[in-house]
């Protein structure tokens, strides 16, 4: 019985990205991961959400406030309604690997934009490895948003001498797919078929 040991030939697209990444200013990196829990109100529930994010990341999140008045939802401008935390650098890479396990290392194709951003949701925080269930906190879902960027993007956001960045310097959807496949072993799929973990 013969075994087929032929390796799949790299696509033209992947060859193009590998060639581009030889330039250190074109090589993308994971800039940040943002975890967000929207509660809709303040008080005890919001404090529980803050505790959950603190357990997952080991850092203290900040509370987000309502920007508009919505009478139907009893929301007033400036009232705390959720919490979020931003993680950067190597810590962000380690955290993303933990979070991807929940979805079996898969992300929906439609979860990417053409600027290097991607996002996915987690319906129960206890599915995240190294996170234990506490009856006093209950179960919480959260949004995970990540950004892949190239060196030099800081010129668009810095306080002094801010300037525009060329469209070609942003990470495209296809390049973001390839980056996550190469660095995190992520599968890009059209539909998630997950078993309860």
Average pLDDT, integer, range 141-152: 94
Lowest mean pLDDT among 69-73, 133-137, 143-147: 69-73
- Reported as a pLDDT band with limits 50, 70 and 90, residue 157 is confident
Is residue 184 a contact partner of residue 100, using CB atoms and an 8 Å limit?
Answer: yes
- Reported as a pLDDT band with limits 50, 70 and 90, residue 69 is confident
- Identify the structural domains of the chain with CATH numbers, from first to last: 13-187 (3.30.1440.10)
In Å, the largest CA–CA distance within the chain is 72
Structure tokens at 148: 């892949």
d(CA 81, CA 140): 15
pLDDT in tens, 106-125: 999 999 999 999 999 999 99
- Reported as a pLDDT band with limits 50, 70 and 90, residue 196 is very low
Q: Does residue 2 have a pLDDT over 70?
A: no
Q: What is the pLDDT of residue 40?
A: 79
List residues bridging with 83 in a β-sheet. Answer: 37, 63
Q: Does residue 4 have a pLDDT over 60?
A: no
Q: Does residue 7 have a pLDDT over 80?
A: no
Q: Does residue 29 have a pLDDT over 90?
A: yes
Q: What is the pLDDT of residue 111?
A: 94
């Amino acid at each position: 019985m013969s075994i087929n040991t032929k390796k799949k030939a790299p696509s033209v697209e992947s060859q193009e990205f590998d060639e581009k990444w030889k330039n250190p200013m074109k090589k993308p990196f994971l800039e940040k991961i943002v975890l967000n829990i929207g509660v809709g109100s303040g008080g005890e529930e919001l404090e529980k959400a803050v505790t959950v994010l603190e357990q997952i990341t080991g850092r203290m999140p900040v509370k987000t406030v309502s920007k508009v008045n919505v009478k139907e939802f009893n929301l007033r401008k400036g009232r705390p309604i959720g919490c979020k935390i931003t993680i950067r650098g190597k810590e962000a890479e380690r955290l993303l690997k933990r979070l991807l396990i929940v979805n079996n290392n898969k992300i929906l194709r439609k979860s990417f934009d053409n600027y290097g951003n991607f996002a996915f949701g987690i319906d129960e925080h206890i599915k995240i490895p190294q996170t234990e269930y506490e009856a006093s906190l209950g179960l919480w879902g959260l949004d995970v948003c990540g950004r892949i960027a190239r060196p030099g993007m800081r010129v668009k956001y810095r306080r002094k001498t801010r300037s525009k960045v060329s469209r070609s310097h942003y990470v495209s959807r296809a390049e973001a797919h390839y980056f996550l496949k190469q660095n995190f072993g992520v599968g890009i799929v059209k539909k998630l078929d997950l078993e309860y973990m």
